[in-house]
Every structure is written in structure tokens, then in C-alpha cells.
Amino acid sequence: MSQILWSDDEIDLLKPYIIYLSERGYQVTPVCSGQDAIDMCKQQAFDIVFLDEQMPGLSGIETLQELKAIRPDMPVVMVTKSEEERIMEQAIGQKIADYLIKPVNPSQILLCLKKHIHSREIVAAETSKTYREEFSDISYMIDTASTLEEFMAIHRTLTRWELQLTNVDKTMHEMLLQQKQQANSAFAKFITHNYENWFTPGATRPLLSPDVFKRILFPLLDKGQKLFFIVIDNFRYDQWKTIQPLISELFTITDETLYTSILPTATQYARNSIFSGLMPIDIQKMYPDLWVDEEEEEGKNLNEKDLIQSQLDRFRKRYDFSYFKINESDFCERITHQLRGLHSPLNVIVINFIDMLSHSRTDSKMMHELCNSEAAYRSLTLSWFRHSPAYALLHRIAELGYRVVLTTDHGTIRVNNTVQIVGDKNTNTNLRYKVGKSLACQSKNCLTIAHPEKIGLPCPNVSSSYVFCTGEDFFAYPNNFNYYAQFYRDTFQHGGISMDEMLIPLITLDPK
């Protein structure tokens, strides 16, 4: 039974309300003064307090301050005859839950209780009910999807429901996870049948990694707009939706879309493709000094500034640009302080935190415990962003009036199923894709590309091929198979084929 404390110096006039609430299962404790309310709250916990603003002795505002000191999380509803703005502002400043103007009617009180005591259960029940009603429609969408746009719509829908159902209804959430697996399976078949066709001469293809500058950034720059192009490595669509409310405080979202990362969905390929405006095989041919092969120990993304310049030169764009890669908080803070001195029309910033988070979750048992589910992964992303210098950086960009294009190079997926693969000693180490000679994969669900040049990928050797995992699979070699299967299961990986890895956010923001 929910416990209500009602403080009013005319409490006898409220007996009809008390009876009304008692009949609906609420236990109401009436008191006649602010001091009595304080004393009662010291003795026991209440689910909610209704507090008259005008009482002899301690006023409602003074009582509110004392109650919040005793029980900070207890919702307090101010009830008053006064409509003075000053009183409202004081009450709101003290973090009241609600504000009711006398005379109030019983239905207002009941609505207030449902809002502040029962909202979680009501929302959970309604959310589960609505998802059950949409379940068949979503399954039909998945079964009949035949275009990339339809899979993007499915990805948005499943993400929306995942955010709503997490921690609300375990049974419904498990049903949703099954639908995500079904959708990823259908998406993998779609990519298997269509991806190579996108690179056929004359074919119409969707917006891919090498098209972002040409089709998104250059048209804005040509109109004279000053831009920040911010790439958050390893940034999924659900993570974008998680931090979107914070971004919306600073910017108006003028466009929110998804685009498609190239394969492999890994930084060496996808991000270098974004910055160069080329497929990896063309980077290797045209700018061999800027391409690093898989077997080389050199960092795979050390030439990004030069790749951006090469693209500007190729398209005869004479824009000055700045480039920053943020790996540490101190450096981000220094950039924030330097922003007023930037005069380039194009400013590129790469933020690596989320990529570092996903890798540290694999390597650190403590991080694995802190980030033990998809919901925890999103929550940690939100917590980082809210308190990070990156958020302060965006504050400053908004103040200076720059437009922002926010995106990523690829997403990531939590893997669970181990697939055995055999390759030579020069095969790369990524768990979601392999490139090398004589690759032999046990799973029929993998995509094998025997002629990499057909999808714009370089061949380390004449007989090299690429093999990509789909769904939640990841590769392990026969040697120490069980050890690696156990070590990497339930970790976040990228490089393969899934909606989370390939269908990634591309957001245009205008400062408010």
C-alpha cells in the first residue's frame, strides 16, 4: 500500500480526499503543520508528500527545504492558492515533483499519484503491450525486406524498442533480441547478394564510406558554411540515440540518417575510405605511401590528415582545414580553449573513446563487469559523454555558431558464437574478418570474397581472399580454440557484417 503524507492547516476539509484515496488503496497520514510533516518524515518513509504552501509557522517552502534535507528523493507536491511566479520558481528550485493550484479535484490528485508513484509500472505495462501488438508487424518487415532502406527502417525500429524495453520487461526484451538475430540473419543474406553489385561500373549504390565528403560535406562547404566534421570511432546508432537528448540541448538536429560502412567494418578500411574518398584498393594504388597493409606493424590510421588533403586536392577544393585526433581528455580540453582561434571552414575531429572502451572491456575484467550488457554499454557511453571534455567541446562549438556533421566509421556488435577458421601464418588477427591465403571456414554463414578487387579491397597476395563473419559469430583458430572461444565470447567486436556494424549514424547539427 502506497504511503501518502498530506500537510495542510485545514486538514479537516480534506477528509473527502482522504476517503477517496483510501478507497483506492492508499494510506494517507494527515498533519496540520510543516513541523508535523518534518517530524513524521523523520519517523518513516513516505511514497509522496502533498504540502500546502501557505501554513502558519513554517511555510510550505521552508518545510520543503527541510523535507528534501531529510529525504532528498521523496517526491513532494506543492498545493497552493497562490499563482505568483516567485512562489512557483522557489518551489521548482527546490525540486518539487509537481505544483497544484487550489481548488484541486480528486482526479488531479489521482493523476499526480499515478505520475509520480506508479509511472514506472504503467509505462512498463503499456510499453510491453505496444511491443506485443507490433511484434508481428516487425517480423513481417524482416521477412519481406529487400532493399537497404527497408533494413535501415528495421534497424531504427528495433533500436527504438531496445531502448524502451531494456529493464522494463525481461520476457519482451528476450523476444526483441530474437528479432534482432532474425533481422541480422536477413541483413547478412541481403549484403551477400547485393554488396558486390554496388561496385559494378555504372551501378547505383547507397551512401558509402568514400562518399561522405563528396555527397555530404562538400555541398555544405561550397555554400560557404563553416563545419566541424566529428567522427566518433566505433559509435553505434543506439549509442547516438542514448546521447541525443544531451546533444539536443546544444544543437537543433536538422538531419538524422543512416549510411553504410564499407567492408571490412574496421578503422583501417572504413575511416581511411571516408577521409580519402576512395575505396581501399584505390588508396593503395594512388597513394601507396598512405596505405598500410594488414601484415605491417605500422599504425593503420596515421595518415588521415594526408588522406583528407589528397581528397581536397583531387576535387580541386581549396579549403583550409584543421585536423585533430583525440585520445586523451587533456588534449580535448586544449582544443576547446583553442577553438576561437580556428578560422578554417572545415575542421575534422576524431574521438577515440568508445573504441577504447570496447577494447578495454575485452582486456579488463573490471570493465567487463561494469559493461556487462548492451544496456550497460549504452549507459557507460552516456555517462562518459555527459562528463567528458568532448561534451564541453561541443558546447564551445555551439557557442561559436558552427554547423556540425557527426558520424562514425563503423559500429560494433557483441559476439557469442565461435567459428573455426584455418589460414596461413600471415592471416590478420581481427576476429570478425580474415584476409589471407588458403582460408577455410567451417560456417556456411560466412561471406567469402575470392576476388577482393571486385569490392574495392587490396590483395596482400595474388591468392588472398577475405572472409567475413555475420550475425554474432567470431573467428578462432583450431589451436587453443576453446581458450579463445571462451576469452572473446561476450565481447564487442567489429569488422564483419551486421546492422550495428554497417548501418551507422550520420547527423547534421545546427547550433541553437
User: Digits of tens for pLDDT over the chain (512 positions)?
Assistant: 789 999 998 888 888 888 999 998 999 999 999 999 999 999 999 999 999 888 888 888 889 889 989 988 899 998 887 666 666 676 666 678 888 888 888 888 988 898 888 887 887 888 889 999 999 999 999 999 999 999 999 999 999 999 999 877 788 889 999 999 999 999 999 999 999 999 998 889 999 999 999 999 999 999 999 999 999 999 999 999 999 999 999 999 999 999 999 999 999 999 999 999 999 999 999 999 999 887 666 676 789 999 999 999 999 999 999 999 998 888 899 999 888 888 899 999 999 988 777 766 666 777 767 777 888 889 989 998 999 999 999 999 999 999 999 999 999 999 999 999 998 888 888 999 999 988 998 788 999 999 999 999 998 888 899 999 999 999 999 888 999 899 999 999 999 999 999 999 999 999 99
Question: From CA 353, how far away is CA 184, in angstroms rounded?
Answer: 26
Residue 136 CB burial class (10 angstroms; 0-12, 13-18, ≥19): exposed
Please, what's the b/e burial string for 169-207 (b: 16 or more CB within 10 A of its CB; e: otherwise)?
beebbebbeebbebbbebbbebbbeebbebbeeeeeeeb
The CA-based angle 357-358-359, given to 5 degrees, is 90
Can you tell me which residue has the cell 582544443? 335
- Report the C-alpha gap between 307 and 301 in whole angstroms: 10
Q: Name the amino acid, one letter, at 179.
A: Q
**Per-residue pLDDT at 94:** 64
Q: What is the CATH number of domain 209-413+501-511?
A: 3.40.720.10
- Tell me if 268 sits within 8 A of 301, measured CB to CB: yes
CATH fold of 3-117 reads Rossmann fold (3.40.50)
Q: Would you list the domain boundaries of the chain?
A: 3-117, 120-194, 209-413+501-511
Residues 102 and 237: their CA atoms lie apart, in Å, by 46
pTM above 0.95, yes or no: no
Note the pLDDT of residue 443. 83
CB-neighbour burial class of residue 149 (10 A; exposed 0-12, middle 13-18, buried 19+): exposed
Edge-to-edge strand ranges of the sheet holding 417-422: 440-441, 417-422, 473-476
Q: Is 341 helix (H, G, I), strand (E, B) or coil?
A: helix
- What's the sign of the alpha-carbon dihedral 311, 315, 320, 321? negative
